């Protein structure tokens, strides 16, 4: 025991020292004048103006602006000039095709993934359902679900958001939109072939890495093409400062190909060291790919919709580096109690707990920025999804830190509790943030308003209630399962029986989520085919101004 504690302490101080050294060497300029960098996402005098293309008509955007005025954040005279509106219009439209391809594929995969997930969930409490064909068996549908979520829905949505955000953040049109569009198609083809391979029984057997390498090739090429377009845009930038979202997106784009390459390197991974690699990858694809993109979106959209810079720009950069440093080493906590050297586990536990640092940085920034303006959630669909997604990021991360502690992990390891936790991260946090981002982006990209605000509300409530049901039910079930498994006096089957009602609750929640996704997919479909009455309100970027004391926004002509 004392050896374990000694190991933990040494690991703790070594990593703390390492991080201190790292931040010190990176900190030159980090604590410079921060207001300039946090204002880079606004026009010269735009602060104080709300922007929400998904608002319900002009009245909706006015209501949002009034909410912001009432909560009194600036009192400045705020204006978006014709020139600025024009530039932003060009930036928003510059990535039209790659963005639409990414989001279109992503939403299609979301629906597929939901169906796979629901089938897998039902099979766990109706085990004799659909057992006739191999491709429909649980052991194939379940990895099909995970991979279509991770590489179909989440990754393509992430690319779509990155391709749309970067031109705005760098104030320059996307360079190489055609290359990026071709990349999106290649990625989509890779994912499709990978899912077919998994269903056909060609899985590699490694969790998160199930696709045969032949299917990874088009994904890597496609991802690189999108990455190259973004990096070329970065080189072409017209801004003085790199906003924190740029840091997250650019780093994510650098990390993803490294992760995939190392994980798929032929001929070196086997046995226990492969298990260590497997969880290094499995956790880093979350920490160094989805999380950075999700946080980039949070750091952009919350201040943008509210018309208010983030609370502390420097804190956001400290959060960035600590996230990268700690998160990249947490994977080993999936092997607690397993046949791996103790120091790997200790290192991972220490870093998992240290994740509290970046998470607190994000939480302070997010909540201090949106606090006091929660009324704006009523008027802005984007904020509704993103603020809740941000809250679930905090929850998921704190839960993850606690879960890595041996005393908790002993109960939760190998149980459905972990599954619920994974969904809090990738669904509660990441998917919610992507929903919000898509509601903001598509009206600008398509120059068309969302046909129905009822459908947006329906989507929101279905997935929120569905997810709450899913998460709470499965967490309780998983915890009871873990306790039963630890009790040697109970036969193993009792740990199975105890979960059955909760597995049913999971199916219930999952059904509501799937229904919500169908509503969302239908709405995106209506949007892409430009259904609905012509409404040209908040969708259009136009010169706008707000004078303190006036009733609402003064809208000029279209910026186009």
Partner 1 sequence: MSREAQVDLTRLIAGALAIVTFSIVALVVMPYFLTRTTTRPAKPAPYTTAQQAGRAVYIANGCIYCHSQQPRDPSVAPDQQRGWGRPSVPADYVHDEPHLLGTMRTGPDLFNIAVRQPSRDWHLGHLYQPRAYMAQSIMPAYPFFFEERTGPAQAGEVVVKLPPGAAPAGVRIVAKAEAIALVDYLLSLDHTYPVRTGRNAGAAP
Strand order in the sheet with 542-546: 78-80, 542-546, 554-558
Residue 353 sits in the site that holds partner 1 (CB under 8 A): no
Compose the 306-325 pattern: x for residues touching partner 1 by CB under 8 A, - for all others.
Answer: ---------------x--xx
Residue 173 sits in the site that holds partner 1 (CB under 8 A): no
Tokens of 117: 């997930």
Residue nearer to partner 1 on the CB measure, 29 or 549: 29
Residue nearer to partner 1 on the CB measure, 348 or 401: 348
Residue 423 sits in the site that holds partner 1 (CB under 8 A): no
Residues 6 or more apart whose CB falls under 8 angstroms from that of 7 comprise 342, 343, 346
Q: Which of the ranges 47-55, 99-107, 254-262, 525-533 carries the binding residues for partner 1, by CB under 8 A?
A: 254-262
Q: CB of 348 within 8 A of CB of 280?
A: no
Residue nearer to partner 1 on the CB measure, 69 or 329: 329
Residue 17 sits in the site that holds partner 1 (CB under 8 A): no
CB of 202 to partner 1, least distance (A): 7
Residue 456 sits in the site that holds partner 1 (CB under 8 A): no
Residues 6 or more apart whose CB falls under 8 angstroms from that of 440 comprise 52, 53, 54, 301, 305, 382
Residue 140 sits in the site that holds partner 1 (CB under 8 A): yes
Q: Is the dihedral of CA 272, 278, 280, 283 positive or negative?
A: negative
CB of 411 to partner 1, least distance (A): 9
Q: Which of 124, 157, 318, 386 lies at the binding interface for partner 1 (CB under 8 A)?
A: 124
Spatial separation of the C-alpha atoms in residues 450 and 55, rounded to whole Å = 9
CB of 240 to partner 1, least distance (A): 5
- Site residues (CB under 8 A) for partner 1, limited to 194-213: 201-207
Q: Is the dihedral of CA 457, 519, 430, 248 positive or negative?
A: negative
Q: Which of the ranges 81-89, 91-99, 276-284, 506-514 carries the binding residues for partner 1, by CB under 8 A?
A: 276-284
CB of 291 to partner 1, least distance (A): 14
Q: CB of 538 within 8 A of CB of 55?
A: yes
Residue for token digits 């899912």? 195
How many residues belong to the site for partner 1 (CB under 8 A)?
97
Residue for token digits 């009733």? 551
CB of 237 to partner 1, least distance (A): 7
Q: Which of 67, 69, 418, 514 lies at the binding interface for partner 1 (CB under 8 A)?
A: 418
Residue 467 sits in the site that holds partner 1 (CB under 8 A): no
CB of 255 to partner 1, least distance (A): 6
Residue nearer to partner 1 on the CB measure, 127 or 549: 127
Q: CB of 152 within 8 A of CB of 106?
A: yes
CB of 301 to partner 1, least distance (A): 21
Residues 6 or more apart whose CB falls under 8 angstroms from that of 349 comprise 8, 332, 333, 336, 404, 405, 406
DSSP of 365-403: HHHHHHTT-TTHHHH-HHHHHHHHHHHHHHHHHHHHHHH
Distances, alpha carbon 162 to alpha carbons 49, 232, 479, 530, 534, in Å: 24, 13, 37, 24, 29
Q: Three-state DSSP class for 78?
A: strand
Question: What are the two backbone dihedrals, phi and then psi, of residue 557, each rounded to the nearest 5 degrees?
Answer: -75, 175
Crossing angle of helices 381-403/342-354, nearest 10°?
140
Residue 21 sits in the site that holds partner 1 (CB under 8 A): no
Spatial separation of the C-alpha atoms in residues 215 and 72, rounded to whole Å = 53
Residue for token digits 């459908």? 455
Residue nearer to partner 1 on the CB measure, 256 or 456: 256
Q: Which of 410, 452, 457, 558 lies at the binding interface for partner 1 (CB under 8 A)?
A: 410
Residue 274 sits in the site that holds partner 1 (CB under 8 A): yes
Residue 374 sits in the site that holds partner 1 (CB under 8 A): no
Q: Three-state DSSP class for 127?
A: coil
Residue 240 sits in the site that holds partner 1 (CB under 8 A): yes
Residues 6 or more apart whose CB falls under 8 angstroms from that of 285 comprise 150, 208, 256, 259
Is residue 499 packed enough to be buried (19+ CB in 10 Å), middle (13-18) or exposed (0-12)?
buried
Residue 268 sits in the site that holds partner 1 (CB under 8 A): yes
CB of 88 to partner 1, least distance (A): 20
- Site residues (CB under 8 A) for partner 1, limited to 493-522: 493, 495-497, 500, 503
Residue 38 sits in the site that holds partner 1 (CB under 8 A): no
Q: Which of 35, 270, 534, 549 lies at the binding interface for partner 1 (CB under 8 A)?
A: 270
Q: Which of the ranges 46-54, 102-110, 221-229, 415-423 carries the binding residues for partner 1, by CB under 8 A?
A: 415-423
Residue 293 sits in the site that holds partner 1 (CB under 8 A): no
CB of 263 to partner 1, least distance (A): 9
CB of 178 to partner 1, least distance (A): 24
Tokens of 482: 């873990």
Q: Which of 3, 533, 534, 549 lies at the binding interface for partner 1 (CB under 8 A)?
A: 3
Angle at 298 between CA 353 and CA 39, to 5 degrees: 115
- Site residues (CB under 8 A) for partner 1, limited to 328-347: 328-329, 331-332, 334-342, 344-345, 347
Residue 241 sits in the site that holds partner 1 (CB under 8 A): yes
Residue 127 sits in the site that holds partner 1 (CB under 8 A): yes
Q: Which of 93, 162, 184, 250 lies at the binding interface for partner 1 (CB under 8 A)?
A: 250
């Amino acid at each position: 025991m004392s050896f374990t504690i000694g190991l933990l302490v040494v690991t703790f101080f070594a990593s703390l020292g390492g991080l201190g050294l790292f931040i010190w060497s990176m900190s030159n300029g980090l604590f410079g004048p921060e207001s300039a960098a946090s204002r880079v996402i606004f026009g010269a005098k735009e602060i104080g103006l709300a922007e929400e293309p998904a608002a319900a008509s002009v009245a909706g955007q006015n209501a949002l602006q009034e909410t912001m005025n009432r909560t009194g954040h600036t009192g400045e005279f705020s204006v978006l000039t014709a020139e600025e509106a024009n530039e932003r219009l060009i930036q928003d439209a510059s990535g039209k095709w790659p963005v639409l391809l990414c989001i279109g594929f992503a939403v299609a995969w979301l629906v597929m993934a939901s169906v796979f997930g629901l089938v897998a969930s039902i099979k766990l409490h109706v085990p004799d359902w659909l057992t006739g064909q191999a491709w429909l068996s649980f052991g194939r549908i379940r990895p099909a679900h995970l991979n279509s979520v991770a590489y179909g829905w989440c990754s393509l949505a992430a690319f779509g958001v990155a391709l749309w955000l970067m031109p705005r953040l760098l104030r320059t049109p996307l360079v190489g939109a055609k290359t990026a569009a071709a990349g999106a198609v290649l990625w989509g083809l890779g994912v499709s072939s990978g899912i077919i391979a998994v269903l056909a029984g060609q899985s590699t057997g490694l969790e998160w890495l199930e696709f045969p390498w032949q299917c990874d090739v088009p994904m890597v090429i496609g991802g690189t093409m999108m990455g190259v377009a973004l990096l070329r845009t970065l080189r072409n930038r017209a801004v003085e400062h790199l906003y924190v979202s740029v840091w997250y997106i650019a780093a994510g784009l650098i990390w993803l190909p490294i992760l995939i390459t190392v994980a798929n390197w032929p001929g070196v991974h086997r046995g226990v060291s492969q298990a260590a690699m497997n969880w290094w990858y499995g956790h880093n694809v979350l920490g160094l790919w989805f999380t950075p993109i999700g946080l980039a979106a949070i750091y952009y959209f919350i201040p943008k919709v509210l018309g208010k810079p983030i609370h502390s720009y420097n804190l956001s950069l400290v959060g960035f580096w600590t996230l990268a440093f700690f998160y990249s080493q947490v994977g080993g906590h999936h092997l607690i109690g397993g046949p791996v050297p103790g120091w790997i586990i200790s290192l991972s536990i220490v870093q998992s707990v240290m994740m509290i640092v970046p998470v607190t940085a994000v939480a302070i920034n997010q909540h201090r920025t949106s606090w006091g303006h929660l009324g704006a959630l009523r008027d802005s669909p984007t904020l509704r999804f993103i603020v809740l997604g941000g809250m679930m990021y905090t929850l998921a991360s704190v839960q993850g830190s606690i879960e890595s502690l041996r005393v908790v992990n002993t109960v939760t390891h190998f149980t459905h509790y972990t599954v619920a936790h994974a969904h809090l991260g990738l669904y509660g946090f990441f998917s919610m943030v992507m929903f919000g981002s898509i509601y903001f982006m598509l009206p600008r990209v398509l120059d068309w308003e969302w046909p129905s605000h009822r459908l947006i509300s329906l989507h929101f409530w279905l997935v929120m209630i569905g997810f709450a049901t899913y998460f709470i039910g499965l967490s309780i079930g998983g915890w009871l399962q873990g306790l039963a498994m630890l009790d040697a006096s109970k036969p193993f089957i009792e740990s199975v029986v105890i979960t059955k009602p909760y597995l049913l609750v999971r199916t219930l929640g999952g059904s509501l989520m799937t229904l919500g996704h169908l509503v969302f997919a239908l709405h995106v479909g209506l949007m892409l085919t430009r259904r609905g009455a012509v409404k040209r309100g908040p969708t259009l970027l136009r010169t706008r101004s707000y004078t303190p004391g006036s009733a609402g926004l003064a809208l000029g002509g279209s910026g186009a």
